[in-house]
Structure 1
Amino acid sequence: MPGIQNSMLQLTIRIVQGTFRLDRLSQVVMDKPCILATTLGAPGGIYKCFEPFIEKHFTIITFERFVQRKEDFAAKIQALFVWGGAIKVDQNLLQSLPNLKAVVNGGVGVDHLDIPLINSFGIKVSNTPHVVDNATADIGICLMLASARKIVEGHNFSKFREFDGLSESSLGTDVSRATLGIIGMGRIGYKIAKRAQGFEMKILYHNRNQRPESEEKAVGAMYCASMKELLQRSDFVMVVVNLSPQTHKLIGAKEFAMMKPNSTLINISRGLVVDQDALVDALQKKMIRAAALDVTYPEPLPRDHPLLSFPNVIVLPHFGTHTMETSQIMVERMVTNALAALTGGQLPDEVKA
């Protein structure tokens, strides 16, 4: 024991004095499987508060460090952690990681990943479904309420007011007993319907497939076989679909023309599901009352984008899953999937092409 302690002391002294080479230090600490990720705490990276949990299981090689020293790290990396699409997973990257076993995505959407390409290298892909359902449903309801009751305008009035008394334009609209149209009644859409019940809303939904009658009755939802019917009848239209070739710009000029002049569009799916140019035109022509967006393209929008100039538009920076609790569970799930891949087991949340 004294010999080990003395060795560790000498190692510490050499590190402090700068006589111990950093490449040898790397070998000392890399006794755990290596993963590649953006710098934790950097823009687009996993938040630094989750670093201790990840480091219990893995040695983290930051992408920036990897680029500088590929020859040292390429063969050691066995999993790639993708958070927010900050790392471009293309053929060049995949070819440079000969022992990569999994691309582990934080979040549900994997439209930024070329899954057939990744699978062609014998690499598995996973995401974190179910984990995000409640937080995303919450943000949908939050956006609906904030837009209807002009919460942002009210806050700005209190903070910057130049006169006393609210103007007529500050009048909001009731959510209670209004009609909510949900486009995409999957797991998240169904949770939104359950929340909307608390406001005694009339709930319509459009989906590729109609849900069982028992599920419809449980949330008081009525199926619309055509999206046109839903758009024509809804006071609030909430889009909750996955991005795919079929849903790319699903809501465009034709759809805005079907909506009620006093209706609000709420998008919590993916930015490209809505044609933003058509949305700007619909707002300018007062074809709809307002819009509330958690997602856009690009993200974030340029400061001079027209959507940021409308007083009746709320734009969030993709906040849907942005809570401490949900983010922590997402990271835990990413670790679970990565560990399964490294041991040759079945990934609990594998996504197949």
Structure 2
Amino acid sequence: MTEMDSGRSGEGPSVLVLRKGTHGTPISAYANALRERVSNPDVEITVANTPAEEREAIRDAEIVTGMSIDESLLEHAENLQLFACAYAGTGHLPLETLEEMDVTVTNASGVHGPNIGEHVLGAILWFTRRFHVASRRQRRREWRHYQAHELQGSTVTVVGLGAIGRSVCERLEPFGVDVQGVRYTPEKGGPADAVYGFDADDFHDALSRTDYLVLACPLTNETRGLVDAAAFDTLPPNAVVINVARGPVVDTDALVSALRRNGIRGASLDVTDPEPLPEDHSLWTLENVQITPHNSGHTPKYYDRLADIVAGNVERVLESGSYEELENQVLPRP
């Protein structure tokens, strides 16, 4: 039996899983996780393995889920009611077309909380205990003491208090740090000792007291270039910048300049601008920079967490008969 011939049919909504996977894990694992969680046998879950299979299956599918969907594939959709994006970000989607088609769109917000939270904590400790110095001296077989730092008593500023930002704050609780949060709606508060908005004066006020700046915000017109030359001038020289958001949140030229002149102590970059980072880029050679290839979200539990969200929404549709008020709904806009 092929994936396209799932052997299941019923009166429930049909769910199509598009062929592109992520993190090196086959998309069939995601489909299987969905099947384990959707208890109604009338819901048919199909995986398309080729472009032709996607074009055929999307004609009747009411629910489609995957990393992305392009307009050429949407041209074949005749019954589409919901696109469940498998990424937290939706800027890569043809949202205007989906809105014109009256398609509900959800995202995968929350999937990355635990794994990226752990990545950020590891990066903070890497700089606090100066493990990069230890690694360098180990490679040289050099037994020479060096002074490390303590995290306790530091101030960590977390920009973005969504699922990832909240996860970072939760993991910092046992370390005796002061946590400052930055979000669009500071009046909502959050798991931080103080919460600021994106007003320039407020933001720089937070930066001036920051030892570790964690960027976990979406890329928007307001956050593009947020950490610019002026921000680096405000940050204390002992500050470390940790970016798990998107590369363009940081002005790369300003970052390189700050690192070279000891304007900041270091940077941990899971995302860069440009991305991938070119082989000849100067960031590769700076000893106070930690680079990971946009894989802070890599985890074997990614599809399980994603399937929890999407299967829950399928169950809501079955119960209510409506594609409104779903978890992580992006369209229709609130």
Q: Distance in 2 between matches of 1:278 and 1:330?
A: 36
Q: Please state how far the C-alpha of 1:211 moved relative to its aligned partner.
A: 4.6
* Distance of aligned partners of 1:55 and 1:140 in 2 relative to their CA distance in 1, 3 Å threshold: same
Cross-structure match for 2:134: 154
Q: Please state how far the C-alpha of 1:244 moved relative to its aligned partner.
A: 1.3
Cross-structure match for 2:123: 143
Q: Give 5+ residue unaligned stretches, structure 1.
A: 1-11, 13-21
Letter aligned with residue 225 of structure 2? K
Question: Contact 2:28 / 2:47 at 8 angstroms: preserved in 1?
Answer: no
Q: Distance in 2 between matches of 1:277 and 1:97?
A: 44
SS in 2 for 1:281: helix
1:58 maps to 2:45? yes
1:349 maps to 2:313? no
Q: Distance in 1 between matches of 2:246 and 2:217?
A: 8
Cross-structure match for 2:40: none
Question: Contact 1:257 / 1:287 at 8 angstroms: preserved in 2?
Answer: yes
* Distance of aligned partners of 1:290 and 1:244 in 2 relative to their CA distance in 1, 3 Å threshold: same
Q: Distance in 2 between matches of 1:244 and 1:27?
A: 41
Q: Distance in 2 between matches of 1:26 and 1:286?
A: 57
* Distance of aligned partners of 1:26 and 1:60 in 2 relative to their CA distance in 1, 3 Å threshold: closer
* 1:239-254 mapped onto 2 (5 Å cutoff): 239-254=215-230
SS in 2 for 1:245: coil
* Distance of aligned partners of 1:199 and 1:109 in 2 relative to their CA distance in 1, 3 Å threshold: same
1:165 maps to 2:143? yes
Q: Distance in 2 between matches of 1:220 and 1:71?
A: 51
SS in 2 for 1:256: helix
Cross-structure match for 2:39: none
Q: Please state how far the C-alpha of 1:328 moved relative to its aligned partner.
A: 1.2
Q: Please state how far the C-alpha of 1:191 moved relative to its aligned partner.
A: 4.0
Q: Which moved more, 1:28-37 or 1:248-257?
A: 28-37
Q: Please state how far the C-alpha of 1:26 moved relative to its aligned partner.
A: 5.1
SS in 2 for 1:351: strand
Q: Distance in 2 between matches of 1:107 and 1:42?
A: 12
Specify which of 170, 189, 203 is matched with residue 227 of structure 1: 203
* Distance of aligned partners of 1:157 and 1:79 in 2 relative to their CA distance in 1, 3 Å threshold: farther
Question: Contact 2:169 / 2:192 at 8 angstroms: preserved in 1?
Answer: yes
Q: Distance in 1 between matches of 2:148 and 2:23?
A: 39
Q: Please state how far the C-alpha of 1:197 moved relative to its aligned partner.
A: 3.3
Specify which of 44, 60, 79 is matched with residue 76 of structure 1: 60
Question: Contact 1:293 / 1:314 at 8 angstroms: preserved in 2?
Answer: yes
1:119 maps to 2:103? no
Q: Please state how far the C-alpha of 1:227 moved relative to its aligned partner.
A: 1.1
C-alpha RMSD of matched pairs (Å):
3.3
Q: Give 5+ residue unaligned stretches, structure 2.
A: 37-43
Question: Contact 1:40 / 1:51 at 8 angstroms: preserved in 2?
Answer: no
Question: Contact 2:241 / 2:266 at 8 angstroms: preserved in 1?
Answer: yes
Letter aligned with residue 324 of structure 1? P
Question: Contact 2:55 / 2:76 at 8 angstroms: preserved in 1?
Answer: no
* Distance of aligned partners of 1:223 and 1:26 in 2 relative to their CA distance in 1, 3 Å threshold: closer
Deviations along 1:94-136, one digit per CA (max 9) or x if unpaired, are 2232232222112432222242321211211011334433333
SS in 2 for 1:283: helix
Q: Distance in 1 between matches of 2:48 and 2:103?
A: 19
Q: Please state how far the C-alpha of 1:219 moved relative to its aligned partner.
A: 4.9
Cross-structure match for 2:281: 305
Q: Please state how far the C-alpha of 1:292 moved relative to its aligned partner.
A: 0.9
* Distance of aligned partners of 1:308 and 1:331 in 2 relative to their CA distance in 1, 3 Å threshold: farther
Question: Contact 1:197 / 1:219 at 8 angstroms: preserved in 2?
Answer: no
Q: Please state how far the C-alpha of 1:49 moved relative to its aligned partner.
A: 3.8
Q: Distance in 2 between matches of 1:332 and 1:183?
A: 27
Larger radius of gyration: 1
* Distance of aligned partners of 1:78 and 1:310 in 2 relative to their CA distance in 1, 3 Å threshold: farther
Letter aligned with residue 142 of structure 2? D
Q: Distance in 2 between matches of 1:177 and 1:42?
A: 36
Specify which of 108, 127, 145 is matched with residue 128 of structure 1: 108
1:208 maps to 2:184? yes
* Distance of aligned partners of 1:205 and 1:34 in 2 relative to their CA distance in 1, 3 Å threshold: closer
1:287 maps to 2:274? no
What's the TM-score, normalizing by structure 1?
Answer: 0.75
Q: Distance in 2 between matches of 1:175 and 1:164?
A: 26
**More helix as a share of residues:** 1
What's the TM-score, normalizing by structure 2?
Answer: 0.79
Deviations along 1:200-222, one digit per CA (max 9) or x if unpaired, are 2133333334356xx67x75446
Question: Contact 1:182 / 1:206 at 8 angstroms: preserved in 2?
Answer: yes
Specify which of 82, 101, 111 is matched with residue 81 of structure 2: 101
Q: Distance in 2 between matches of 1:241 and 1:124?
A: 23
Q: Distance in 2 between matches of 1:272 and 1:81?
A: 27
* Distance of aligned partners of 1:186 and 1:27 in 2 relative to their CA distance in 1, 3 Å threshold: closer
Cross-structure match for 1:183: 159
Q: Please state how far the C-alpha of 1:164 moved relative to its aligned partner.
A: 3.0
Question: Contact 2:183 / 2:195 at 8 angstroms: preserved in 1?
Answer: no
